[in-house]
Chain A
Amino acid sequence: MALVEADSSLRSSAERPGGEEGASRVRSVRGAPFSRGGVGRRARRPGGTDPVSGAVFPHRLLPFVLMLPELAVVGIFFLWPSAEGVLESVRESNAFGLGSRFAGLANFRAALSGGYLQALEVTVVFTVITTVASMGLGLLIAVQVEQVGRFKGFYRTLFVWSYAVPGAVAGSIWLFLFEPHVGPGARFLGALGLHWNFALSGTQAFALICAMTVWQQTAYDFVFFSAGLQAVPQDVVEAATVDGAGALRRFWRIVFPLLGPTTLFVVVMDVLAALFGSFAVIDVISQGGPGGSTTTLVYALYRDGFQNGDVGLAGAETVLLFIIAGVLLAVQFRVINRRVHYR
């Protein structure tokens, strides 16, 4: 879905920016370009709902041939390795892969009795904090930037910037900033009376990883909320204004509900980023420590499988992670979909 939705969101934002820069000046005069865009979308939609039955394939096999590259990619890069992962999860061997034998559920028992539950707790707290914080900040900034007149492009560039920095590079920068003894960030916190040493304090290490992730993810969310805000029909907002709704009321009753699909997308992407994307940052800054305080499920998986060479245990953890992420996303779509209004 990531790809499907990212595509459509990008398209909807890409459709407009060209005209948008010019249109924004016009909008205040006429307020029309966006409602026209809306009409355009609606007009295009009937053709878009059912493209397959409209198309005619001359041969029955042709659709399958056309699907073959995609099927091959999914098969080779997803199904096959996943199957191997599942297979390893019920096998047991020494680190070098010798003496492999069937182990039943022993790897799963080992996973659940080790530090896995702590990693699960860390992951849940981390995911909730970073998702809520980066969505909130991203939306706040996007709304503020929308109201800026002249320097909109400038601000947009500034706020997107941090997402363009790769996680490992950003991690290194933050590591220097908050190095306990010489980092300027650490000195600043020290001046505020905080004894800063994330190398020893689990809470501080966790806070640093969270802040760093929010810093990056806010930029990402900002892009999509900005795009989403473009798609909010101005006529509806203006109608509400005429009816006497204040700015806050307009936002929460009109704009925010209309951002539903964007919000859903952003939630899903943030959760995925927290679950899987945080690896580089954690590896650069804290290596999962101190005391496992920044060991997320993915980091535990890396440590057990790649560093400690316990492939069976890592296989079991992979399967558990797959189940957790799958269930979580299914629930998200079930719950949130009821509240999302697709136009």
Chain B
Amino acid sequence: MPKTTNGRVKVAGALASVGILAGACGNSAGTSKTAGSTIASSPSSTASAASSNGPINLSIWTAFNGTLGQTFNHLVDEFNSSQSTYHVTATYKGSYSQVLSDTIAAFRAHDAPNITQIFDAGTATIMDAAGTYEPVYKLMAQNNIPFATSDFVGGAASYYETSSNHLDSLPFNSSTPVLFYNKTELANAGITSPPTTWTQLQADADTLSAHGQHCALTSSGAYVMWTDMEQFALWNGYPYATNDNGYTAVNGVKLQIDTAPFISHLSMLGQMASKGQYLWNGVSTSTVPLFTNGTCAMYEQSSADLSTIQAGAKFPFGVSELPVVSGDAAAPQNTVVGGASLWVMAGAASDTYPGDAKFLAFLMSAQSQAYWASNTGYVPVTNAASTLLTSQNFYATHPNDQVAVKELNNKRALPTTRGIRLGYLPEIRQAEASAIANVLSGKQTAAAALATAQSQGDSILSQFASQYGG
């Protein structure tokens, strides 16, 4: 075969094969939309078909698996057996981020679930995309179900409410970070009570080291930016971003994480890490075993992990409030909820919406919330459920469960401590996770790492503003 012809055939072929790969990556953008236009009516057709012979099917997507999944399914079963008009099917879709991205993909394909669970950090991404969801407060009003923002506990209401104090979604599984501590290891080192300030925690770490307990502290694996950046800011009263952490604007919001409090907190963690006193192994490595197998004596983790830790720890452990920054007169301020809220998606058949409302009303009932909170480490999100649990002496017998509630209600939230309402917050957290990894591995100083995260975060925010705010 003549050389030149051969070469040209190959070049053309190579470009084509690259194109196929590149095209395959790109087509998610396009085909889902085009596919959507052809099957736009499918959800309504399936739903109405179901209504003619049997209950109306409602789908809900969650990130609950394991024991959480069982507890949630128990509630779903209870709802299903309590009435016969609707049948709810809960589907586990993976991590919080996966539920969000799957919901987005499904919505673009006009095949969204009736209800979806969107985690705290995804709140702005969906809330500001009006038209993708049916606001829950409106849905409840349409179905004559009593519903008010003031029904919910402070930390949950403030985190999810709109600027006009309405709830577009139903706050559901809500937790807040607390400090777990290994009573045996602290006692062995002669430490009688868990640290209340970071300075004291550092001193305790040195004491523990001297007694052969090298790792004093670890934080949530996937959500260290939640425990040590976001909730750290709220608990100590530091602003996280301009415009009241994004609550009052979409355009022009900027992060404020390259400031002194964050720099000194991360440097402190970096110093402890260099001595082996602080361990964290990236966002994809769970740190639960580090605490439950006794590697680290203390653990900053969501109160939701209480039952997991209870099941895994072979030693007596306690739960206390997060340490505060020494010398900060305002601290402790308040923490806010993390976790997720439930969103009713737009575009479903009209006969499904009363069912959605009934199911959500069932989930927020005092009995459901009390069941949920007492079987998980989550806090009850309604005042009624909180009162019910107290009247049942639940907190008197479960002091570990009470710490989260105390933190959330420690002080009335300030405009800057209502929560963090930033668009594409999951992406901002990725940038922060990179910064934290770089500090803990000694690759960058806290100041340099946070400056990078700040500028990456700001460009993510401006990208969000140009897509949502215009």
Residues on A lying within 8 angstroms of B by beta carbon are: 1-5, 45, 48-49, 74, 77-88, 92-99, 101, 103, 106, 110, 113-115, 180, 197, 199-202, 268, 272, 276, 286-287, 289-292, 298, 301-303, 305-315, 318-319, 321-322, 325-326, 329-330, 333, 337, 342
Chain B 428-459 interface residues, beta-carbon cutoff 8 Å to A:
430, 433-435, 437-438, 440-441, 443, 456, 459
The smallest beta-carbon distance between B378 and chain A, in angstroms, is: 26
Enumerate B1-24 residues with CB–CB distance to A below 8 Å: 1-3, 6-7, 9-24
With CB as the reference atom, state the residue of chain B lying closest to A328.
B18
Q: Which chain A positions have C-beta within 8 A of B87?
A: none
A81 touches B31 (CB 8 A): yes
Chain A positions within 8 Å of B6 at CB level: 342
Q: How many A-B residue pairs have CB under 8 A?
A: 216
B107 at the interface (CB under 8 A from A): yes
CA distance A96 to B437 in the complex (A): 31
* Bound form: Cα–Cα A292–B431 in Å: 9
Report A224 CB to chain B, min CB distance, Å: 15
Which residues on B sit within 8 Å (CB–CB) of A321? 22, 25
The answer, among B1, B28, B468, for a CB contact under 8 Å with A311, is: B28
Known: A199-B282, A309-B125. A85 touches B108 (CB 8 A): no
The 6 nearest A-B residue pairs measured at CB: A84-B30, A85-B26, A1-B13, A81-B27, A199-B282, A290-B437
Which of B25, B132, B282 contacts A96, CB < 8 Å?
Answer: B132
A-facing mask of B416-438, CB < 8 A → 1, else 0?
Answer: 00000000101100100111011
Q: How far is the CB of B59 from chain A (nearest CB, A)?
A: 18
B42 close to A (CB within 8 Å): no
Say whether B20 contacts A78, CB under 8 Å.
Answer: yes
Residue of A nearest to B2 (CB): A49
A82-B19 CB under 8 A given contacts A45-B1, A95-B125: yes
Contact with A315, one of B26, B34, B107, B434 (Cβ below 8 angstroms): B26
Residues of B within 8 A of A342 (CB): 1, 3, 6
- Cβ-defined partner of A313 (8 Å) among B125, B441, B463: B463
- Nearest Cβ on chain A to B424's Cβ, whole angstroms: 6
B26 and A318 form a contact (CB under 8 A) = yes
Residues of A within 8 A of B3 (CB): 337, 342
Q: How far is the CB of B94 from chain A (nearest CB, A)?
A: 11
| A77-B20 in contact given A49-B2, A96-B132 (Cβ < 8 Å) | yes
Q: A84, A322, A330: which contacts B19 (Cβ < 8 A)?
A: A322
Select from chain A the residue with minimum beta-carbon distance to B449: A291
Bound-complex Cα distance A197 to B321 (A): 31
Nearest chain A CB to B269 CB, angstrom units? 12
Residues of A within 8 A of B24 (CB): 77, 81
- On whether the beta carbons of B23 and A311 are closer than 8 Å, the reply is no
